[in-house]
Amino acid sequence: MTPERFRSITSGYAALRIAIVGDFCLDRYLEIDPARCETSIETVLPVHNVVRVRAQPGGAGTILNNLVALRVGRIVPVSFCGDDGEGYELRRELARLPGVELDHFVTSPLRRTFTYCKPLVVEPDREPVELNRLDSKNWTPTPPSLAQRLADGLRAIASEIDALIVLEQVDQAETGVVTLGLLDAIAKLAAAQPKLPILADSRRGLAGWPGLSFKMNASELTTMFGCDLPVSPDEAKTRALTLARRNGRPVFVTLAERGIVAAAPDGTIEHVQAVPVRGPIDIVGAGDAVTANLATALPSGASLRESIELAAIASSVVIHQLGTTGTATVSDLAAWVDGIPPA
């Protein structure tokens, strides 16, 4: 991709309106200073003293953070949080971000806010070390009344968006945003707007989902087709093309260090190599950066290959950000395209 072509594609990002339907959570980082370690008088157990607390949108919020970093003009989350302290923090962090519209982000007393609490040991001149995470989730089905509000919100904006991202982050079916009822609404939207980019990703796998643009990793691909890891690029191409023709939309498969494969219903198949690793990495958030870059590049006129080229660069930028779930800005991508990547 030439610098001129890159600027042509990204110049349209500010005019985009992109919706994200999915499980937003709060990423809360507790920074621990081991030099301040104490022993509890009551329990005689070590006390980890937290010296700084950071909060940012996680889950589907990580995709949103990347859209913000790409300077997307308008971003519409369709989701819910609990009527609790974590929900207050999550809404506050979302409201601080430019272009985010919260009209269809519902606060409900019927749910608790999905939260990843991440203790980090932080020492000078050392990489952060993450301790065992403390997660807060919902373990009961999402109430039908709440699911209906989300479906109504999606229908209200469907004709006014340039791309739709659907992310299921929960481990237990029907406990999050993407219920069967909402999937039905998404399927109807996809049928009514066949040219609208709709990217779907689920940590539980996409088997049984309607005909959308699937974004999958190698493990999810093997689960769907009953094949074994590792997945070769050639096998990923074959499987992706099968899905693309079945769904009538492009399909994308991330293969970690072997890059990204994409296939379109017309038989077009592309594969780009991953950017070489440049030091310590943290892969958390890499897939979300891929999703965000696909969802911005495709409605901005990028070809299948151009979209995965940008996604591969963004993924590389993110995995080299330690101690946080990172993002890739337009400037970060431009540096690679211009041939001046970071040392």
**8-11: Cβ within 8 A, 24+ apart:** 8/301, 9/297, 9/300, 9/301, 9/302, 9/306, 9/310, 10/70, 10/296, 10/300, 10/330, 10/333, 10/334
What are residue 331's DSSP bridge partners?
none
Query: Over pLDDT 90: what percentage of the chain?
Result: 85
pLDDT of residue 285: 74
Examine residue 141 and say whether the peptide bond preceding it is cis (omega within 30 degrees of 0): no
Residue pointed to by tokens 């939309």: 249
Higher pLDDT, 8 or 1: 8
pLDDT band at 282 (very low <50, low <70, confident <90, very high): low
Contact 295, 197 (CB under 8 A): yes
Residue-wise pLDDT for 289-322, tens only, equals 999 999 999 999 999 999 999 999 999 888 778 7
pLDDT of residue 52: 96
Alpha helices (H) in the chain, listed in sequence order: 3-10, 60-69, 85-95, 144-157, 180-192, 218-225, 233-247, 286-297, 304-319, 330-337
pLDDT of residue 227: 83
Residue 77 CA to residue 59 CA, distance in Å, equals 12
**222-225: Cβ within 8 A, 24+ apart:** none
pTM of the model: 0.93
Residue-wise pLDDT for 56-108, tens only, equals 999 999 999 999 999 999 999 999 999 999 999 999 999 999 999 999 999 99
Handedness of CA 4, 161, 55, 22 (dihedral sign): negative
- Going along the chain from its start, the domains and CATH numbers come out as 3-37+46-337 (3.40.1190.20)
DSSP-derived 3-state class of residue 44: coil
pLDDT band at 334 (very low <50, low <70, confident <90, very high): very high
Handedness of CA 72, 292, 208, 196 (dihedral sign): positive
Residue-wise pLDDT for 258-276, tens only, equals 999 999 999 999 999 988 7
pLDDT of residue 343: 61
DSSP 245-264: HHHTS-EEEE-GGG-EEEE-
pLDDT band at 193 (very low <50, low <70, confident <90, very high): very high
For 45, the token pair is 């157990």
Task: Tell me which H or E stretch contains 25.
Answer: strand 24-32
Closest-CA residue to 96 (of 70, 61, 120): 61
Please list, in sequence order, all residues whose beta carbon lies within 8 angstroms of the beta carbon of residue 238, skipping any fewer than 6 positions away: none
DSSP-derived 3-state class of residue 213: strand
DSSP-derived 3-state class of residue 165: strand
What are residue 100's DSSP bridge partners?
75
Residue 251 CA to residue 230 CA, distance in Å, equals 19
